[in-house]
Chains A and B, each alone.
Chain A
Amino acid sequence: MNLPFQTPVNDPVNVSRRGFIAGAGVGALVLGFGVPMGAARAQGAAAKVVPGTRVPAFLAIRPDNTILFQSPFAEGGQGVWTAMAQIVGEELDADPASFTVENAPPGPDYQVVFGQMRITGGSFSVRSSYATMRKLGATARAMLVQAAAQKMGVPAGELTTQPGRVIHKASGKAMTYGELAPAALDMPAPANVALKDPKDFRWIGKRQARLDVRAKSTGKAQFSIDMKVDGMLHAAVQHAPRLGQTVGKIRNEAEVKAMKGVHSVHVLPGAVAVVAERFWHARRAVEAAQVDWAEATGETYRPMPADFSTEAFAQYLANYQGKEEVAETAGDMAAGFAGAASTVSATYHSQFVNHAQLEPPSALARYNADGTLDMWFPNQAPEMFLAEIAKASGLAPDKIHIHSPLLGGFFGRHFIYPHGTPWPQALELAKRVGRPVKLIWTREEEFLRDPLRPMAAVRFRGALDAKGMPIAIEAISVTEGPTEGIADKRAAKLDDAALEGLTGKKYALPAKRIAQVFVKSPTTLAYWRSVGNSMNDFFYETFLDEMADKGGQDPYALRLKLLEGNVRLTNLIKAAVDLSGGWKAGPFTAPDGSKRARGIAMASPFGTETAAIAEVSIADGQIKVHDVWQAIDPGSIVNPAIIEAQVNSAVALGLSEVLIEEAVYKDGLRAARNFDGYPILTPDRMPRVHVRIVESGAPMGGIGEPGLPAVPPAVANAVSRLVGKRLRKMPLAGFA
C-alpha cells in the first residue's frame, strides 16, 4: 500500500493513521502495541467495548521510546492533544514531550465523553475524560511493569518506573518502555489500578509546552485543505444565492466547459460545481458560470425567503408576542413587582455571527477499487459523520475510512449542519468523475453557507426594593435555539442552548422567570463558541447593570451582595477585582489624558465560573478596549499555559462579537461574503489580557469556551458607564 497522501514522514503531528498502518506493515515504525483495527471496526464490537479501556487502541510505544497516541478529540488550537499527553503521560510515567498525537478513527474505544459519545465540543474533552484517561495511562504502566517482571524474572512488586522505563532497584536492572512494549501487549490489563496522588503530579497542572507548536510555526502542520492523493481532481462550487433555490439552467455551460483546465461541470442540489485539474481553474470556471436559479419548491430545509432582512427580523423579534415557555422560575414574581419601589424594563438584541475560522472548509473523497471509501474533512465528531456518510454513499460503515486532520479553527463550525458543509458535494463529485476529488469552499461560498449563531431579542423586566436592590427579574427571549434550529424541529423539551446564560445565573434574586418565545429563524443556525452563553450573559449582565443604575448601586457592590454566602463566586469576583488593581468603575481620566471607565460581568458557562473586567475609552468614534482582566475557576486544571492562551483567544472572539461582527441580510442575500465586508477583530484592537486561574476544587469544568461569555457584557457595561447611556445591542452602536 502506498502512502495515500504526501505527508512528510517525519511530521511530528500529522502522521496519518493509514500511513502509520502502512509503516507498521513494512516494520518501519511500530513494534510496540498494535491498534486493533479489525476489532475496533468489527460489527457488534460496540456492545462489548468499554470506551477508553483498551490500551492498544490508544497507545503505541515505539522502540525509540516515543509514544503514538490516538486521540478521541480533534485538535483545533484548544490544546487538547497536549492535555491528553499530560494526563495519560502522568499515570503512564512517560514524558508528554515524547508523545505524538493524532486523531483516532471512528471506533467504540473512543466514545469517552462521559463514557458514551465522542464529540470535540461543549468544552467537554478534558473534563469528561479526565478519569478515564488517567486510568488508561495507569493500566498501560501496569502492563509494562508486568512485562518487565517476566523479562527480568523478578516480582512485579519490586519494580518501579521512571519516565519511560521500568527499574529494578535491587539489581540495578532497567528496561525502556520501548523494549517492553511488544511483551506488554500480551499482558492482561489489570482490573483495578491505583492512580497517583495529585500532590505527586509531575506534569498535570504544569505549563507543558504544546506538542503542535513547532509544526504550526514552520508550515508543516497539515489541515484538511492541504490533503492530496494520487490522481486527485480539484473542485469549486457556486452556491445558489438563497438556500433552497435550485439550478434552473447554466446559460453559458458550453463556454465554462471549454475553459482552461476544466474537467467537467456538474449540477448539484443548490449549486453548480466545476471539477478541474487545479483548484484555480475550477474556481475561475465556476465563478464564470451564469446560472438561472429556480425558486425552492416543495419541502426543503430552511429555504431563505427573498425578502429576508436582518434589520427587519430584529424588530420582528422585539415585537413578537407568542407563547412564553418557561425554562426557569423561582419566587413570587407577581408579589415582587407588586411590592416594587421601582421597576425597569428594556429590550436587548444580539446579532447573527459567522464562525469565520480561518481555514475555509474542504473535503476530499476517494472511492477505492476494493469498494471502500476514504474521506478527509474537518470534523468535530467522526462517528456522527460516519453515519451520515454511510447513508449518503450507501456503503456499510466498515467500508468507510474517516480522516480528521488538524482543524484550522473551529469554534463550533465542524458539526453536522445540513447544507452547511462540503463533504456531500465532494462525495457526489468523486462518484461522478470516478477519481478522487478535493472540494474547497472559497471564503465567499463559506460565508454564504456557514450556519450562524442565533439572533435573539430579549425583553427584560426588573423590580427593585426601596433600597435599590433587585428583587425580581424576568427575561423573555424571542429566539430559536441552535439545537432546534439545526434539527429544524422542536423537541419535547426546551432547547437548553437557546437560554443558557439567562438560565443558570447564580445571583440570589428572590424571584425570577426566564422564558423563550420561539420564532423560527429564516437562516440556518449553528453552535458558536460558548453557544447560548455567547449572547445570553451579555443580555443578563448588562440588564443587571441597568438595574444597578436604577437602584443607585455600584455594579461590583451589587454583585457581591447578590453573591452573599456563595464562597466560590465571591472569591472569584474578588480575584478579578484584585487582578485589576482594585475596583474603579469611573469614568476616570487615565495618565494619557483619555477618559475611561470599567465594566464588570460574570458567567457560569460549561461547568466553569468566570468574572471579567474591561477598561475602555472612546477615540476617533471607536471603542478602544485597553485591558481585560479575567478570573477563571474551572475547579481544577491540567495546563495553566493553555488556559491563559484560551482565555486570550476567548477575549478576542468576545470582543470581535461585541464590537464588530454582524452577519447582515438584505433581500434574502448576504450583504458581505468575505472579510472586507465582514470584518473580525484586528491586531490593533486587541487589548492587554490578564488572567488569574482560581482552582476551587469544584468538579472540573471546561476551558475552550468559558473565557468568552463575561467579556461582551464587561465591555458593554464599561462603555455604557463611560457614555452615560445603556447600550442594548451587539455589536455596540450609538456610543459616540
Chain B
Amino acid sequence: MIELTINGQKRRVDAESDTPLLWVLRDDLGMTGTKYGCGVAQCGACSVLVDGSVMRSCVTPVEAVAGRKVTTIEAMEKDAVGAKVVEAWVKHQVPQCGYCQSGQVMAATSLLKQNAKPTDADVEAAMVNLCRCGTYNAIKAAVRDVAGLEAKA
C-alpha cells in the first residue's frame, strides 16, 4: 500500500512502487483526465503537478510522489491559478481534439504558479508539450493573456 495525496485528498493505492503515477491515476483511482500519449516523457499529455511543479506522470514511479502533493487536471477549476488558465483556454478557444489539453493546462498552471509574470521566453521555455492539432498559437495567446502580456499581432 502506498499513501498519496491527490488534489488534497489522502488516497491509498495497492500498486507496486515502480508503477508510473499515470496508470495509478487512471486505472486505480479512475481519474482519466490525465492522458497517456507516449509513455516516454516526449509528449506531455500526462503532465501533473507535484508540489506545484509540472512532472510527466508516465515516467514518474508512484513511490517518488509518496508524501508529496499531487495535483491533477481534475482540480484545476478549484485552483486559483488553474481556474484562470482554464478560463483563458475557454476564452481563446484553445482545444481542438482536446487530447493533449489536460497536459497543456497543467504545464501553463505550473509556469504561472512559479512565475506570475513570465516573459515570452519563459512561456516558450515552459510550454513544450506536443499538440498534433497544432493549437500552439492559441496556447501561447492564452498563457500570455493570463500573464498579462499584451496581445501581439
Contact = CB atoms under 8 A, between A and B. Distances in A.
Interface of A: 6, 76-79, 209-210, 212-223, 225-226, 228, 234, 260, 278-280, 356-360, 406-411, 440, 442-444, 641, 645, 648-653, 674-676, 680-684, 686, 688-689
Contacts of A442: 39
B27 A648 contact: no
B110 interface: no
Interface string B120-133: 00001001111111
Interface residues of B, number: 56
A367 B33 CA distance: 27
Nearest to B41: A676
Contacts of B99: 223, 357-359, 408-409
Contact of B94 (A213, A221, A406, A653): A213
Contacts of B89: 213, 217
A358 B39 CA distance: 12
B69 interface: no
A652 B134 contact: yes
A636 B72 CA distance: 42
B48 to A, nearest CB: 11
B55 interface: no
Interface in B22-49: 23, 26-28, 30, 32-40, 42-43, 45
Query: Which of A209, A260, A443, A688 has the most chain B CB within a 10 Å cutoff?
Result: A443
Contact of A358 (B37, B77, B93, B136): B37
B86 interface: yes
B137 interface: yes
Contacts of A279: 23, 26-27
23 contacts: A216-B95, A216-B98, A218-B73, A218-B105, A220-B33, A357-B97, A357-B132, A358-B100, A358-B130, A359-B99, A408-B35, A408-B99, A409-B97, A409-B99, A440-B36, A443-B38, A651-B134, A675-B38, A675-B130, A682-B128, A682-B130, A683-B136, A688-B137
Contacts of B43: 358, 675
A649 B40 contact: no
B60 interface: no
B138 interface: yes
Nearest to B45: A358
Contacts, number: 169
Interface in B125-153: 127-140, 153
B93 A213 contact: yes
B51 interface: no
A435 to B, nearest CB: 15
Contacts of A79: 96
A77 B42 contact: no
B137 A686 contact: yes
B27 A278 contact: yes
A448 to B, nearest CB: 14
Query: Which of A225, A358, A408, A443 has the most chain B CB within a 10 Å cutoff?
Result: A358
A243 B116 CA distance: 51
A215 B73 CA distance: 11
Nearest to A214: B90
A219 B74 contact: yes
A357 B130 CA distance: 11
B30 to A, nearest CB: 6
Given A214-B90, A443-B38, A676-B42, A359 B97 contact: yes
A278 B77 contact: no
Given A77-B95, A217-B86, 18 more contacts: A79-B96, A213-B94, A217-B90, A217-B94, A221-B98, A278-B15, A358-B45, A358-B97, A358-B99, A359-B35, A407-B97, A408-B98, A443-B37, A443-B38, A443-B39, A648-B135, A652-B133, A683-B139
Contacts of B134: 648-653, 681, 686
A403 to B, nearest CB: 16
Given A223-B99, A359-B97, A218 B132 contact: no
Contacts of A76: 97
A17 to B, nearest CB: 19
A432 to B, nearest CB: 21
A584 to B, nearest CB: 18
Contacts of B127: 683
B94 A684 contact: no
Query: Which of A410, A649, A674 has the most chain B CB within a 10 Å cutoff?
Result: A649
Contacts of A78: 96
Contacts of A215: 98
Contact of B32 (A213, A214, A226, A648): A226
B132 A675 contact: no
